[in-house]
Amino acid sequence: MRYRRERYYKAQLRQPNGKPGELGEPVYLNEEEQTKADSLFSKETFNVIVSNKIAMDRTLRDARPNECKSQTYPTKLPNASVVIVFCNEAPSALLRTVHSVVNRSPPNYLHEVILVDDASERPEVGPELDEYVSRVWPDGLVKIIRSKERLGLIRGKMKGARAATGDVLIFLDAHCEATFMWIEPILTRISQDRTIVICPMIDSISDKTLQYFYGGGVAVGGFTWSLHFTWRGVPEREMKTRKSSADPVRSPTMAGGLFAVDRSYFFELGGYDPGMDVWGGENLEISFRTWMCGGSLEFLPCSRVGHIFRAAHPYSFLQKDTHGLNSKRLAEVWMDDYKRLYYIHRSDLMDKDAGDYSDRVQLRKRLNCKSFKWYLDNVYPEKFILDEGVRAYGMVQNPATGLCLDTLGKDEKSQFNLGVFSCQGGKSSSEVFSYTKTNELRREDLCVDAIGRADVSVTLTFCHGHKGNQEWIYDKATKQIKHYTLTVCLDARDLKNSDTVKLQQCDDSSITQKWTLEKELDMN
Ligand code: UDP
Ligand code: MN
């Protein structure tokens, strides 16, 4: 322990040394290096040349909001096992994660770091990694477990968790950087209540320059009915219960990679679903399960960990839609009748075999968990339920052209043009819309929006709930969709697949202005 303490104090004294990337600054390459980085980008899925240039123990600024800086924490806290699973990750990013954890966690709180190698297919994380780890951390603080068979991240984390012996489990991805005082708030909160599952606030590290983006706000997790994770602003009701912006924020869901949980509570709650493969869905599964079975989920604004957000993955998905199938398992086990909403988006999975999940159904019974409706009503009351209390939902179709309103698979995190595509007969998630009683034409949390005049593009933008640009009147007689304030109509004239839908002067004889709503519930 003395050795560890000395090492920790030495790490605290480390000053920025002017080398690339210190303090989380971005690193830019010369042309030759950048060409090399570009050619490696598809394999590594981030800029590995930049990563290799930056010190393994680079300095970072204090990433916490000011309100956190006056917080104090107990001196006696439970200790943690940090579990990091990795498959084909670049060694420099993996090791920077480990260095950041060891250097920024007081030694009495860090019981161990467990690296789980999920059948990586690159030699640099083989014996070379063993050698590095035993040279740099000769006291056995950092352990490596290897799996010959590909486990996927879910079973990989379970393997790490079973090997761990600390009081608290903290899971991290293999391309993170823990910042100053990251662990104290986590351990403090869990010591107050072992049924709270904790997420640090995840800051973004650029996949191109490895710049650490400070000053990221506080957000919470949501989900879409196609069972993808989304970030959302902190809801009003949650804001009201907090005295300081340093206080924890309750969140309906977690992103998945980075979280902490009391080790025995993790297993009491059923760990993870071992029937889930590779990647995807486990984050929503553990979120729903935690809330429904008596626990809760919180994000801590004062605990900040950077994560390299990548557009692709450096490993294979084994030719399976693992996100889809894993999500099917969670929908079947946890979502009761609301699983219908998943199948509206994934009708292709209705008859697909997602394996045996009877153990998980048993688990839910044994833990006496609440219903999914309870979860929606109490934990995520703002969640839009696309087929409840609406006038109509499903495809919005122009019979004359056979075109439907379609998101064209755009990333639904930001504003984009609303497109048209040939109607897929309910087989395409990107054609599912709802027409609400407040006259919104919605795609879950996004609303069809138009500003200006005829002939302008129509967009999908976050719903603001104040009508205006987002109010549409469906005329049952003429089947036109009229923009309420602009008195122009949605028109499919001259459009082909993947075009943006337009507004034109309303003309009730125009067949390209006639739209049918697939499932009408209550058009009054
Ligand atoms: N991972 C793994 N086995 C897999 C898939 C992922 O060990 O089959 C690891 C991966 O190396 C990473 C973590 O799980 O450390 C999370 O994966 P990733 O970062 O690709 O997910 P994302 O952050 O994109 O959701
Ligand atoms: Mn990741």
Short-list 257, 293, 12, CA closest to 157: 257
| Closest residue to atom 7 of ligand 1, CA basis | 86
Residue range 180-192, pLDDT digits in tens: 999 999 999 999 9
Residue range 15-55, pLDDT digits in tens: 999 999 999 999 999 999 999 999 999 999 999 999 999 99
From 227, 279, 283, mutation site for ligand 1 pocket: most ligand atoms within 8 A of C-beta: 279
In this structure, which ligand is nearest to the CA of 120? 1
Q: State the pLDDT at residue 212.
A: 98
Q: How confident is the model at residue 454 (pLDDT cuts 50, 70, 90)?
A: low
Place of tokens 């956190």: 68
Residue range 319-328, pLDDT digits in tens: 999 999 999 9
- The answer to whether the beta carbons of residues 286 and 197 sit under 8 Å apart is yes
**Ligand 1 center–CA 87 separation, angstroms:** 7
Q: What percentage of residues in the chain have a pLDDT greater than 70? A: 99
pLDDT surpassing 70 at residue 453? no
Q: What percentage of residues in the chain have a pLDDT greater than 90? A: 93
| Closest residue to atom 10 of ligand 1, CA basis | 86
Average pLDDT over residues 406-433: 91
pLDDT surpassing 90 at residue 414? no
Each domain of the chain, given as residue ranges in start order, spans 2-308, 390-520
| Closest residue to atom 16 of ligand 1, CA basis | 173
Residue range 193-245, pLDDT digits in tens: 999 999 999 999 999 999 999 998 889 999 999 999 999 999 998 989 999 98
| Closest residue to atom 1 of ligand 1, CA basis | 153
CATH no. for 2-308:
3.90.550.10
CATH number belonging to the domain at 390-520, selected among 1.25.40.20, 3.40.50.720, 3.30.470.20, 2.80.10.50: 2.80.10.50
Cβ atoms within 10 Å, residue 242? 15
Which atom of ligand 1 is found nearest the CA of 277? 8
Angle (nearest 5°) at CA 101 between 95 and 105: 155
Q: How confident is the model at residue 73 (pLDDT cuts 50, 70, 90)?
A: very high
Residue range 238-275, pLDDT digits in tens: 989 999 989 999 999 999 999 999 999 999 999 999 99
DSSP string, 72-87: ---S----EEEEEEES
Task: Answer whether 2-308 and 390-520 agree in fold.
Answer: no
**Ligand 1 center–CA 173 separation, angstroms:** 6
Q: State the pLDDT at residue 426.
A: 82
In this structure, which ligand is nearest to the CA of 154? 1
| Closest residue to atom 14 of ligand 1, CA basis | 153
Helix orientation angle between 91-103 and 127-136, rounded to the nearest 10 degrees? 20
In this structure, which ligand is nearest to the CA of 156? 1
**Ligand 1 center–CA 34 separation, angstroms:** 25
**Ligand 2 center–CA 275 separation, angstroms:** 21
Q: State the pLDDT at residue 485.
A: 83
pLDDT surpassing 70 at residue 434? yes
Q: State the pLDDT at residue 226.
A: 94
pLDDT surpassing 70 at residue 455? no
pLDDT surpassing 70 at residue 489? yes
**Ligand 2 center–CA 175 separation, angstroms:** 6
From 44, 149, 173, 272, mutation site for ligand 1 pocket: most ligand atoms within 8 A of C-beta: 173
- The answer to whether the beta carbons of residues 20 and 54 sit under 8 Å apart is yes
Through-space distance between the first and last CA atoms of the chain, rounded to whole angstroms? 72
Q: State the pLDDT at residue 361.
A: 98
Average pLDDT over residues 471-483: 96
**Ligand 1 center–CA 84 separation, angstroms:** 9
Q: Identify the residues whose C-beta falls under 6 Å from ligand 1.
A: 85-87, 89, 118, 152-153, 156, 173-174, 257, 278-279, 310, 313, 315
pLDDT surpassing 80 at residue 452? no
Helix (H) or strand (E) holding 367: none
> Average model confidence (pLDDT) for the chain?
96
